[in-house]
Amino acid sequence: MSLRLGAMLPEVFRHLFKRPATVLYPFEKNTVPARLRGRPVMDPDKCIGCRMCERDCPAEAIEVTQESETRTDDGKVKRRFSMVVYVDRCAHCGQCEEICPAKPDKAIKLNEFFEEAAFDRGALKIVYK
Amino acid sequence: MSETFVLPVGPQHPALKEPTSFRFKVDGEYIVDADLRLGYNHRGMEKGCEARTYVQDIYLLERVCGICSNAHMTCFAQGVERLMGIEPPPRGVFIRCLMGELERIHSHLLWLGVAGHEIGFDTFFMYTWRDREVVMDLLEMVSGNRVNYGMQTFGGVRRDLDGMQIKTLLEGIAALKARTPYYLNLGATEPTMVARIAGVGKLPREKAIELTAAGPTTRASGVDFDVRKDDPYAGFGDLIPFTIVTDNGCDVLARVVVRAKEMMASYDIMEFILRNLPAGEVRTKAPRKVPEGETVSRVEAQRGELIHYIRANGTDKPDRVKVRAPTLANWPSTLYMLRGAYLADIPIIMAAIDPCLSCTDRMAVISDVRGGEKVWDWETLRQYGIEFHRRRGIRP
Ligand code: SF4
Ligand code: SF4
């Protein structure tokens, strides 16, 4: 291959007339992908309290607590659980959602929220009850 | 008469964003001798693995490195699968392989940009990084996130591909396939670039073998070693065709050429995968406990051969996990390349092995062979430090 000075120049000139490849975040935002693993959100109405998410979370970001135990008229025990998620520790791996056995809908899911920065660490301790 | 002196570089230095320390014996602009000190970066990950379950470990090990996260995940997953005695279904194998190649593309484009930056060619850096966004978007579409894809698991992969995604992947790959020859051409013909990389960082073939260089570094010295060929995994060998890329240039230019051509080979692999994707499940069920045993798992990461050693004791936590990253294999040859080079070529010679200290570095414990253990309190240690420097004529 022979050397060619300025091999890049045509490309450089063409870019004078192109739109910038970057967006002006945070004023402009790209759409997030449908599969994004954002913030874990738990629904206490669906949780059966198996604690599989707590056991599997690699970042130890989940704490499940039993809130109440009631007996229905037909003698069934109904328990309600609350959850604390420390999103500053969360690694967004999605293992909690994957392992959750609640049916027909999972009790913990990762949503599309990704802007987790905060000035106060306390704001990153999220309680679902 | 020539006079040499020792120039310490690092642990913090502009040539690399990660800590590593060099001692260069220089004669004017020439490097007469080079020595390396590792051990500045300790993250306790191998030990951390022993305290966590396998399921947690796979995510921990994914975070050994941000660039080759998928390689670490794959390496650990296939090692543990071997111990469990399970195998992923064919569709899972194909998607596992696809992720590895997508990651290789993003890493090589990143590396090309960094190489351009290290020799002061920032236009090149901007173009490659812009085009890298194409593959980043594909990775994001398949896995959900740009870094740490979390795709591999014991017994397969965690997410399937649908028809729309396969179409988008093929389009993205076609766009990159059209673009890559431009970089290959530029790297090999632009005089300002060629002048900085041709003949720099020479590593003859026999030296590459002797010093156990890995990955594109060894393939650019004409050694046709690639784990994908020599110890096939993830469908290579029987299901997925693959051609090995080598070059006989033995210099930084050859490393640019090998990486660019490797990207072309990866596009072919990915197109084959997407056109011949078997139907069915993407993962099989894996047990939580791993039977007693030990294994060595190897993967051709973008930087070279990555090795995980796993020892299981029958519980749900491993007994020992050891990670050998490709950069460690490449340090001896880097020192060889630096000897006789110019001072100004240090950044590009180092960058040419695509070093990654976060994968490589471990804490160094130096045991005193003369025996005896000394426990010093803070004050004694401080006094020792002051005395040490005073003896060398430095006043505290
Ligand atoms: S996404 Fe991963 S790290 Fe975050 S809470 Fe769920 S399991 Fe834990
Ligand atoms: S895995 Fe699901 S059901 Fe079980 S405790 Fe967690 S959120 Fe509740």
Contact list, B257 vs chain A (CB under 8 Å) = none
A59 in helix, strand or coil? coil
Q: Taking Cα atoms as reference points, which of A89, A58, A38 lies closest to residue B58?
A: A58
Contact list, B188 vs chain A (CB under 8 Å) = 1
Which whole-number Å values give the CA distances from B82 to B150, B203, B286, in the listed order? 20, 36, 11
Residue with tokens 């070693």: B225
Contact list, A7 vs chain B (CB under 8 Å) = 185-186, 189-190
Predicted local confidence at residue B42, as pLDDT:
77
Q: What is the mean pLDDT of residues B381-389?
A: 85
Distance from CA of A128 to the nearest CA of B (A): 23
Domain ranges of chain A: 34-128
- Report the DSSP beta bridge partners of residue B26: B5, B31
Distance from CA of B331 to the nearest CA of A (A): 31
Q: What is the mean pLDDT of residues B67-74?
A: 94
- Do B190 and A94 make contact, defined as CB atoms within 8 angstroms? no
Mutate to test the interface with A, among B59, B109, B134, B162 (most CBs of A within 10 A): B59
Least distant ligand from the CA of A126: 1
Residue A89 CB less than 6 A away from ligand 1: no
Q: What is the mean pLDDT of chain B?
A: 90
Predicted local confidence at residue A33, as pLDDT:
92
Predicted local confidence at residue B373, as pLDDT:
66
Domains of chain B (ranges; CATH) run 52-328 (1.10.645.10), 371-396 (no CATH)
User: Would you say residue B26 has pLDDT above 70?
Assistant: yes
Torsion over CA: B351, B353, B359, B361 (sign) = negative
Predicted local confidence at residue B2, as pLDDT:
67
Its CATH class, for the domain covering A34-128, is: alpha beta
Q: Which residue of A has its CA nearest to B160?
A: A35
Q: Taking Cα atoms as reference points, which of B42, B24, B21 lies closest to residue B34?
A: B24
- Do B150 and A33 make contact, defined as CB atoms within 8 angstroms? no
Q: Which residue of A has its CA nearest to B192?
A: A5
Q: What is the pTM of this model?
A: 0.90
Is residue B113 very low, low, confident or very high in pLDDT (cuts 50, 70, 90)?
very high
Please give the structure tokens belonging to residue B308: 């995980």
Q: pLDDT digits over B124-149, tens only?
A: 899 999 999 999 999 999 999 998 99
- Do A21 and B60 make contact, defined as CB atoms within 8 angstroms? no
Q: Which residue of B has its CA nearest to A112?
A: B144
- Do A94 and B127 make contact, defined as CB atoms within 8 angstroms? no
- Please, are residues B222 and B205 in contact by the beta-carbon 8 Å criterion? yes
Ligand 1 atom showing the smallest separation from residue A92 Cα: 1
User: Rounded to the nearest 10 degrees, how much is the dihedral formed by the CA atoms of B29, B33, B39, B41?
Assistant: 20
pLDDT per residue, tens digit, chain A (129 aa), is 566 667 778 888 888 888 888 889 989 988 899 999 999 999 999 999 999 999 999 999 999 999 998 888 888 888 999 999 999 999 999 999 999 999 889 999 999 999 989 998 889 999 998
Triad B89, B91, B92: Cα angle to 5°: 65
Predicted local confidence at residue B161, as pLDDT:
94
B393 in helix, strand or coil? coil
Choose which residue among A46, A53, A106 to substitute to test ligand 2 binding: the one with the highest number of ligand atoms within 8 A of its C-beta: A53
- Do A1 and B145 make contact, defined as CB atoms within 8 angstroms? no
Ligand 2 atom showing the smallest separation from residue A108 Cα: 7
Out of A67-71, A76-80, B42-46, B81-85, the most confident range is B81-85
Q: Distance between alpha carbon B189 and the CA centroid of its chain, in Å? A: 27
Residue A40 CB less than 6 A away from ligand 1: yes
Which whole-number Å values give the CA distances from A81 to A69, A78, B303, in the listed order? 9, 10, 47
Predicted local confidence at residue A113, as pLDDT:
92
Q: What is the mean pLDDT of residues B152-178?
A: 95
Residue B11 DSSP one-character state: S
- Please, are residues B110 and B118 in contact by the beta-carbon 8 Å criterion? no
Q: Which residue of A has its CA nearest to B137?
A: A33
Q: How many angstroms does the Cα of residue B347 sit away from the middle of ligand 1? A: 38
User: Would you say residue B103 has pLDDT above 60?
Assistant: yes
B299 in helix, strand or coil? strand
Q: pLDDT digits over B334-367, tens only?
A: 999 999 999 989 889 988 998 888 888 876 666 6
Q: How many angstroms does the Cα of residue A92 sit away from the middle of ligand 1? A: 5
Choose which residue among A51, A66, A79 to substitute to test ligand 2 binding: the one with the highest number of ligand atoms within 8 A of its C-beta: A51
User: What ipTM goes with this model?
Assistant: 0.91
